Amino acid sequence: MFLEVRGLKKTYLDGKIMALNDISFTLGNGEILGVLGGSGAGKSSLLRILRGFEPFDSGLIKIGDIEVRPDSPKSTYLELQEKTAIQLQRNFGLWPDSPAENVIRAIRYSETGEESMPQDEAEYEEYRAKAMELLKIVRLEGRADLWSEVLSGGEKQRLIVARQIARRPKLLLLDEPGTMTCPETRIDLIDALRRANKELDMAIIFASHNPDFHRALAKRMIRIDAGKIADSGDVDGVLSRYLSKIDAPLPKTALKGPVAMTFKDVSKVYKLIPYGKVFELHNTNLEFRRGEITGIIGPSGAGKTVILRMLAGLEMPDAGEASVLYKDEWIKLQKLGRASMHARRQIGILHQEFDLSYWSRVLELFAAKVGIKDYNMVEGALERARKAGISDETVDAIHRVAEMPDSEIQAKLREIGIDRDILKELFRSKDPETAKDVALSALGLMGLGGEMLDRHVYELSGGEKVRIALALAVIAKPRILILDEPFGDLDPLTLRKVSNSLKRIKQSLKPAIVLVSHQLDFVEEVSDRCVLIEDGKVVADGRPKEVVSRFMERCEHV
């Protein structure tokens, strides 16, 4: 027996929240164990505790000859950390270097205890050769010299896995691996983990909501519910019993309305020195209708997120026009000013790397979102700016930055020479109490009640966070709703609730919904139309079942 976990208990907020309650299981040498459970069940807490990152209240972790208890000295926790490595859920913590150098640093850490870069040229080349072998395992050898910041979400996930494998741990812990990767890449990742398990004699415990991931990688699994082991055994048996509880899907109804947004001959090129051209979108023409859900699929790095960001006005095309219909007039999103600000108010967006302020009350989040989406609030921002001598064009640029993921905001403000305090002064939060009505309406579409408004973000499960984020995106009753792979790490039961919520949004608000997802069953279930993007080109546009089948065939032949 390699690992024994006995009577593990973990609470948060002085015992108010029970995360894990009497968790016990064992793991054999080189065994792969799958962990299943709904959002908020306690899976992530278990993995962080096994990594030695997080204390626990009672119980025992025994790995090899190391015994870790709640009162063990720090040195024992450090021994546990030396034997383990982890890929955290939705965590993209990488060095601002190339993928090759990120992996080199990880290899150096396993050998020296420091993530330093070799200074001698010959030594550097030796480490680079080792790094390239690991990058080949996760199919990133062709991106080895890019900056890690420009990788897609799926590519970042694969790079993080490569870094963890490079540390040569005895136990590899994975929290939702491959959730934002295309089917082809997911297959490659599973193969890479199998090889690491066999060749490096590395035991693996992974938490995943993807039934196919469990079937392909694990032979045994446990299911956690409300912090307890609710089921365990062979993979097919546990999955079958779990999936029997899923909600029935709401019917999909056709609501093909007028065109609300267009792409006309849009081109976009990204170049990095000295690497050269890393992405190009070619003369793309698309249109999106109200009442229609369009799923956009394709390999990781194909350009899907770039398209969504241009649809939201967060990226500008190099050529062509991205336009949105506002008050019977077509507004070009690349033209800064008052008109585009108000046109973009009717666009809701949920980013792949969305984050909610940890300590905020949910009602405060809605009040802040109203501050950048409400007509009168935007007009107030424009008026304050005019008095301060700030042009409408500059206010629009700041307004766009306010809708980016929080991790990007500071860098973008610095780029345009604006202090964050100016953003907060221009776009003020609405009084929380006066934001309640719109918040309740948006929550209702998600199947959530008003009791959510008084909860703090840290009290929400992962599934609740996603539904709150989606509710924030529809608070202004948008005519266009853009969703960039925000549902990749939801369990099947919660994902069905979200898919039913999208159908309710379609029926109630009749927006044009454009979503990117690597979960092809989900795309088929909710979409009325599907677009396949490869290498910056639209290669298919039609019925979801047919386009998804075409994509799968292309993946199988790669």
The mean pLDDT value for 24-34 works out to: 95
Q: Which residue has the higher pLDDT, 488 or 375?
A: 375
Do strands 171-175 and 84-87 pair parallel, antiparallel, or not at all (unpaired)?
parallel
Q: Using alpha carbons, select from 161, 207, 154 the residue that is nearest to residue 185.
A: 154
Which three-class secondary structure string do you get for 68-80? ECCCCCHHHHHHH
The mean pLDDT value for 491-518 works out to: 91
75, two tokens: 């040195």
Q: How far apart (Å, rounded) are the C-alpha atoms in residues 450 and 435? A: 12
pLDDT of the residue at 254: 83
Indicate the class that CATH gives domain 3-243: alpha beta
Which residues, 6+ apart, have CB-to-CB distance to 537 below 8 Å?
A: 281, 282, 284
- For residue 100, is pLDDT > 80? yes
Q: Which CATH number is 259-556's, of 3.40.50.2300, 1.10.150.20, 1.10.357.10, 3.40.50.300?
A: 3.40.50.300
270, two tokens: 């990204």
Which three-class secondary structure string do you get for 220-264? EEEEEECCEEEEEEEHHHHHHHHHCCCCCCCCCCCCCCCEEEEEE
Amino acid (one-letter) located at 122:
A
pLDDT-derived band at 492 (thresholds 50, 70, 90) equals confident
What's the pLDDT tens digit per position in 247-271? 999 998 888 899 999 999 999 987 7
Tell me which residue has tokens 């336009």.
Answer: 323
Q: Using alpha carbons, select from 523, 542, 546 the residue that is nearest to residue 182.
A: 523
345, two tokens: 């108010």
Tell me which residue has tokens 């890929």.
Answer: 87
- For residue 92, is pLDDT > 60? no
- For residue 556, is pLDDT > 70? no
What's the pLDDT tens digit per position in 48-67? 999 998 899 999 999 988 99
- For residue 479, is pLDDT > 70? yes
> Percent of the chain beyond pLDDT 90?
51
Sheet holding 512-516, edge to edge: 347-350, 480-484, 512-516, 293-297, 529-534, 537-542
Q: How far apart (Å, rounded) are the C-alpha atoms in residues 214 and 21? A: 24
- For residue 275, is pLDDT > 60? no
Which residues, 6+ apart, have CB-to-CB distance to 409 below 8 Å?
A: 401, 402, 420, 423
Q: How far apart (Å, rounded) are the C-alpha atoms in residues 201 and 162? A: 16
Peptide bond into 486 cis (omega under 30): no
Q: Using alpha carbons, select from 282, 289, 280, 277 the residue that is nearest to residue 265.
A: 282
Strand partners, 147: none
Angle at CA 191, nearest 5°, toward 189 and 193? 70
**Chain mean pLDDT for the chain:** 88
pLDDT of the residue at 495: 87
Q: How far apart (Å, rounded) are the C-alpha atoms in residues 154 and 518? A: 9
Do strands 512-516 and 293-297 pair parallel, antiparallel, or not at all (unpaired)?
parallel
Tell me which residue has tokens 């979960």.
Answer: 519
pLDDT of the residue at 21: 93
Strand partners, 325: 330
Question: Which contacts of 450-454 are long-range, i.e. CB under 8 A and separated by 24 or more positions?
Answer: 452/362, 453/361, 453/362, 453/363, 453/366, 454/361, 454/362, 454/363
pLDDT of the residue at 64: 87
- For residue 91, is pLDDT > 60? no
Domains 3-243 and 259-556 share a fold: yes
Element (H, E) at 199: helix 183-199
Beta strand extents in 424-495 (DSSP E only): 480-484
Contact 279, 299 (CB under 8 A): no
Contact 26, 3 (CB under 8 A): yes
Angle at CA 83, nearest 5°, toward 79 and 87? 120
Q: CA torsion angle for 200, 555, 546, 263 (degrees, to 10)?
A: 110
Strand partners, 515: 295, 483
- For residue 78, is pLDDT > 60? yes
pLDDT-derived band at 17 (thresholds 50, 70, 90) equals confident
Tell me which residue has tokens 């997080």.
Answer: 54
Q: Which residue has the higher pLDDT, 95 or 56?
A: 56
pLDDT-derived band at 419 (thresholds 50, 70, 90) equals confident
Helix, strand, coil % (nearest 5) of the chain? Answer: 45, 25, 30
Strand partners, 168: none
Most confidently predicted of 81-85, 96-100, 228-232: 228-232
The mean pLDDT value for 232-259 works out to: 92
The mean pLDDT value for 453-466 works out to: 82
pLDDT of the residue at 272: 61
Q: Map out the domains of the chain as residue ranges.
A: 3-243, 259-556
Q: Using alpha carbons, select from 102, 5, 4, 92 the residue that is nearest to residue 45.
A: 5
Q: Is the dihedral of CA 401, 404, 408, 409 positive or negative?
A: positive
The mean pLDDT value for 162-166 works out to: 87
- For residue 558, is pLDDT > 60? no
pLDDT of the residue at 543: 95
- For residue 354, is pLDDT > 80? no
pLDDT of the residue at 312: 93
What's the pLDDT tens digit per position in 281-293? 888 999 999 999 9
Contact 76, 122 (CB under 8 A): no
The mean pLDDT value for 417-440 works out to: 87
